[in-house]
């Protein structure tokens, strides 16, 4: 007899609601037909990692929690770009703004929260945004290409992460805060001062005790006026002053609303069969804005819907972790020293470490850590479990000892944790999920647990707890392995490359099979890296695996937020001609390109190109691709040098064009940028490039390992040479040595810091070694052809670019 399934509708495709669905699928996989409505065009993604996307530490692909295949495999109907606008609580159905109607037996409201926008005069001007979703990130990224001055209103957690991301994008950033010190809700004044000093060193400017009065400008923002009469120039204003639960939909359905949607301990609203979870929900008067409480709510709701026993949700003790550009900050519980408490502090100004513990009645009730947050997860567990710390106060302050996993009563603190307690807040992984991975899934290392559950896969702060659980459940079977390139393998980059060479492995699939990959198809981290390593090792034999490349590299253009693409033809050394400019302009008009923009790399960017127009546009341009999207040579920036400039000592233009033609289309572990300056005045910024050439009287200085990104790094001087041929020889040797020894996705700046410039000098000091490296790079370059020649000439490949209808709603 077939049991009919109930209909479950989830409004909101965010972290809290989908987490509840994940739990429900494990508890009662056949109980419901599930429909999900999401206002954004994306599948479920990790919103707390947006700051990493903005700061360049993660790609959009890397923060996706559940891809579209997950919805398909679980028979979930997903409607993207659809906002539910009404609830019929009598007939039990919801209707979206796109006219989609869905009946329900049970309804979950997970509508999240909206950013609080200060009601300032001028707040509706262009260039005033929040920092809440992918769209906001895209606006910041796009704005940074044309404007330079950003103001962030709000010196809390979100504001500082937005500010750090804007600095990475090359903008000047001022943080405006009404309080007299930053992050006052999470830090005491001492830790805040240390954080401020560190961020100021990175280029952030702070305007404290400032009350915003009005936003200046006509159509677009031009500045911010303060109540004291002073003002700050601004091309972009980001408001990060708080969030408010999104309760608009609940109100239309007659659901009880206070600050948030009012729920009981089982996440039930006052209307039968309607639940609320996440930032939109208010439980016992509290609306939580951190991910761990939301996941705890989701676990309770899943049990309720599955008919499983649950004690309900009783509220959460919260913690906060901030990581911006290498600065680690952690706080939990009551750090402000309530009456009757006592505090222990440790401060090391030399190493930049600060620790504070707040104790009341021999119980740890709060903690603040700066610079070293390795003990954060364990301290947080002690706060939540209200354990006695009598006699261990100093030990805790100076660092949790090796036996700290054992509580004072002799039992194991991790063993005493509830099964549904969240261990990994970033990915919502509970203690029970990790235990199951170890006991039933056979995981015996942290890497295997990470691959199976995603625990410790994001910020890594929970790794000590994961290691503790591994010891608890695996015992002697637990193994400590060196961290691999991803969760699919425990092998390092060097081990993989050595095995590929030793066994002469020639395909990605072969590498995974022979080297025992834990995930049969690999992941978005290892597939591109293996594709690169194979091409680097076997340049004459290996056929590039297009499916292992990212979208931009497959289509040879940068995908934009609206699904169109950006085309950048190569303009050698930034030198063009009237005829070439005329051709580009005519093609831009023919294909109705919305914007043509000069890039920072001295070339033209055609923005807004339709996918189906890409092959024909490249065919008519008949110009090499500028590879503005790949891990390859991007640009060679030049000044006019001795050709025109009265200060120029060498032909910078000629040298730059020669280098660009020498190395165009060269695949590398990461993007590579070159520059040539005609004199030490360095107008082309050669000393913050991966390889920079600076002309001097009678020769050239060669500089390596520079970066103008999130970690600005000046180059190291590699050597001084006399001729242009020597420049090419050393550049060839250096780039090939980098190709053969750096890890995938490792910029030259990180690589040079890791191995040391002296070791590179030693590797390249012998002429015969340089010539051997030059020969190998020339072998690789001889097989590189412009991808557009192949696509234009092969009809089968052109089919990949046929138009695909993008529906407002995607059902999977």
Distance between first and last Cα of the chain: 28
> Rounded to whole angstroms, how far apart are CA atoms 361 and 507?
63
Residues 6+ apart with CB under 8 A from 245: 111, 112, 113, 114, 259, 260, 261, 279, 280, 281, 282, 287
- With contact defined as beta carbons under 8 Å apart, do 614 and 651 qualify? no
> Rounded to whole angstroms, how far apart are CA atoms 75 and 97?
23
Q: Is 523 annotated as a binding residue?
A: no
Residues 6+ apart with CB under 8 A from 234: 127, 149, 150, 151, 174, 221, 222, 223, 224
Q: Is 639 annotated as a binding residue?
A: yes
> Rounded to whole angstroms, how far apart are CA atoms 198 and 194?
6
- With contact defined as beta carbons under 8 Å apart, do 255 and 261 qualify? yes
CA angle, 452 then 454 then 460, to 5°: 135
Tokens for 452? 């199976």
Residues 6+ apart with CB under 8 A from 350: none
- With contact defined as beta carbons under 8 Å apart, do 727 and 702 qualify? yes
Backbone φ/ψ region at 725: left (φ over 0), alpha (ψ -120 to 50), beta: alpha
> Rounded to whole angstroms, how far apart are CA atoms 431 and 222?
50
CA distances from 614 to 208, 331, 341, 370, 607 (A): 49, 50, 67, 50, 12
> Rounded to whole angstroms, how far apart are CA atoms 9 and 11?
6
The three-state secondary structure class of 397 is helix
Give the strands of the sheet with 205-208, arranged side by side. 128-130, 236-239, 149-153, 172-177, 205-208
CA distances from 705 to 327, 684, 737, 759 (A): 23, 16, 13, 13
Run of H or E including 331: strand 327-333
- With contact defined as beta carbons under 8 Å apart, do 163 and 50 qualify? no
How does DSSP assign 125-172, residue by residue? Answer: SBTEEE--SHHHHHHHHHHTTT--EEEEE--SHHHHHHHHHHHHTT-E
Binding positions are 639, 645, 679, 683
Binding positions for [4Fe-4S] cluster are 639, 645, 679, 683
Binding positions for siroheme are 683
């Amino acid at each position: 007899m077939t049991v009919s399934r109930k209909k479950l509708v989830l409004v909101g495709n965010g972290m809290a609601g989908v987490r509840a669905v994940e739990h429900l699928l494990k508890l009662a996989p056949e109980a419901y037909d599930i429909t999900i409505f999401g206002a954004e065009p994306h599948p479920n993604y990790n919103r707390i990692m947006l700051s990493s996307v903005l700061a360049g530490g993660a790609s959009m692909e890397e923060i996706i929690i559940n891809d579209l295949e997950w919805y398909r495999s679980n028979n979930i109907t997903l409607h993207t770009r659809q906002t539910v606008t009404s609830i019929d609580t009598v007939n039990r159905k919801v209707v979206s703004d796109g006219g989609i109607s869905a009946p329900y037996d049970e309804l979950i409201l997970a509508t999240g929260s909206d950013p609080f926008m200060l009601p300032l005069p001028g707040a509706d001007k262009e260039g005033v945004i929040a920092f809440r979703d992918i769209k906001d990130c895209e606006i910041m990224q796009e704005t940074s290409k044309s404007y330079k001055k950003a103001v962030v209103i709000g010196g809390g957690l979100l504001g500082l992460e937005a500010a750090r991301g804007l600095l990475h994008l090359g903008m000047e950033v001022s943080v405006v805060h009404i309080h007299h010190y930053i992050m006052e809700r999470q830090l005491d004044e001492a830790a805040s001062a240390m954080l401020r000093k560190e961020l100021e060193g990175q280029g952030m400017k702070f305007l404290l005790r400032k009350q915003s009065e009005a936003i200046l400008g006509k159509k677009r923002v031009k500045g911010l006026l303060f109540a004291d009469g002073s003002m700050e120039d601004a091309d972009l204003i980001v408001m990060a002053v708080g969030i408010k639960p999104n309760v608009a939909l609940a109100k239309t359905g007659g659901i009880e609303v206070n600050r948030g949607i009012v729920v009981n301990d089982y996440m039930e609203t006052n209307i039968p069969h309607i639940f609320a979870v996440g930032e939109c929900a208010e439980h016992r008067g509290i609306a939580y804005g951190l991910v761990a409480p939301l996941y705890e709510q989701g676990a309770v709701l899943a049990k309720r819907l599955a008919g499983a026993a649950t004690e309900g949700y009783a509220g959460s003790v919260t913690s906060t972790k901030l990581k911006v550009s290498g600065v680690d900050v952690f706080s939990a519980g009551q750090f402000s020293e309530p009456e009757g408490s006592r505090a222990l502090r440790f401060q090391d100004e030399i190493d930049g470490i600060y620790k504070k513990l707040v104790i009341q009645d021999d119980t740890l009730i709060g903690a603040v850590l700066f610079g070293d947050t390795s003990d954060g997860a364990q301290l947080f567990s002690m706060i939540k479990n209200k354990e006695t710390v009598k006699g261990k106060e100093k030990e805790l302050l100076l660092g949790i000892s090796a036996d700290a996993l054992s509580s004072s009563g002799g039992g194991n603190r991790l063993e005493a944790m509830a099964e549904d307690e969240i261990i990994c807040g970033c990915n919502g992984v509970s203690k029970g999920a990790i235990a199951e991975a170890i006991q039933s899934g056979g995981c015996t290392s942290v890497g295997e647990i990470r691959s199976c559950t995603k625990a410790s896969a994001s910020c890594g702060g929970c790794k000590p707890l994961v290691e503790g659980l591994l010891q608890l459940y695996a015992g002697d079977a637990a193994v400590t392995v060196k961290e691999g390139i991803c969760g699919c393998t425990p092998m390092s980059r060097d081990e993989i490359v050595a095995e590929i060479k030793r066994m002469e492995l020639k395909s990605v699939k072969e590498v995974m099979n022979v080297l025992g990959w834990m995930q049969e198809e690999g992941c978005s981290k290892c597939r591109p890296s293996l594709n690169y390593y194979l091409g680097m090792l076997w340049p004459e034999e290996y056929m590039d695996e297009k499916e292992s490349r990212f979208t931009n590299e497959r289509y040879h253009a940068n995908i934009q937020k609206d699904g169109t693409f950006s085309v950048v033809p190569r303009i050698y050394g930034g030198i063009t001609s009237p005829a070439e400019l005329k051709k580009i302009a005519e093609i831009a008009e023919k294909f109705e390109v919305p914007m043509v923009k000069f890039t920072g790399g001295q070339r033209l960017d055609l923005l807004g190109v339709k996918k189906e127009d890409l092959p024909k546009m490249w065919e008519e341009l008949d110009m090499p691709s500028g590879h503005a999207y790949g891990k390859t040579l991007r640009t060679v920036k030049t000044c006019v040098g001795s050709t025109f400039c009265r200060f120029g000592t060498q032909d910078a233009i000629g040298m730059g064009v020669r280098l660009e033609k020498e190395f165009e289309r060269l695949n590398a572990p990461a993007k590579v940028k070159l520059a040539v300056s005609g004199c030490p005045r360095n107008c082309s910024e050669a000393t913050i490039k991966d390889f920079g050439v600076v002309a001097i009287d009678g020769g050239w200085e060669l500089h390596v390992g520079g970066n103008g990104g999130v970690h600005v790094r000046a180059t190291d001087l590699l050597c001084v040479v006399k001729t242009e041929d020597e420049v090419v020889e050393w550049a060839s040797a250096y780039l090939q040595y980098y190709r053969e020894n750096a890890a995938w996705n490792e910029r030259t700046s990180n690589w040079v810091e890791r191995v040391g410039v002296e070791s590179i000098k030693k590797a390249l000091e012998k002429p015969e070694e340089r010539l051997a490296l030059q020969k190998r790079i020339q072998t690789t370059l001889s097989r590189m052809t412009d991808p557009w020649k192949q696509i234009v000439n092969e009809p089968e490949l052109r089919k990949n670019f046929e138009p695909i209808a993008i529906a407002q709603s995607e059902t999977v």
